[in-house]
Structure 1
Amino acid sequence: MSLDGEEDDYMSDAVLAQCTSNVRPSLLFNPRDKRAHQLLKKKAEADKCSKQKSVRVQQEEGRAAGLQKQISSDNKGFQLLSRMGYVSGTSLGKRCYDDKNVEDRLKEPIPVEVKIDRKGLGQKTRDREKLETYKRRNEDLSKLADPEEFRQRALAVANIKALNRDVHTAQSTCRHLDIQKGKESPIQPWYWPKNIEDKATSESNTSEMSTTVVELEDEESDEDSDQPEASEILSTVTAYLRSHYLYCIWCGTSYDNEDDLESSCPGNSRAEH
Structure 2
Amino acid sequence: MSTRKRPPPNPLDPDSDSDTSSPPTSKKRPFQQKPPPTTTTTTTAPPPQAANAASNDEDDEDDYMNMTIAEPTLPETFSQRKKRLQLEAETRARPKSKAELAALEKANRDAALAKSLLDTQTPNKGLLMMRKMGFTPGSALGAPTASTNTARLEPIPVTLKEDRTGIGHASAQRAKLAATAPPTTTTTTAAAQLSPEDYRARVAEEQEERRREAQLVAAQKLAEEFECERSGSSVGTRAVPLRSINVLWRGLVKRREEKERERRMRYDLLQSLDAPRLPGYDRDCELDEVDKAALGITVPGLRRPAGTVVVEDEGEEGDEVDEELEREEARSAGERVAALCEYLRRQYRYCFWCKCRYEDEEMEGCPGVEEDLHG
The normalised TM-score by structure 1 is: 0.45
Name the structure with the higher helix share.
Answer: 1
TM-score normalised to the size of structure 2?
0.34
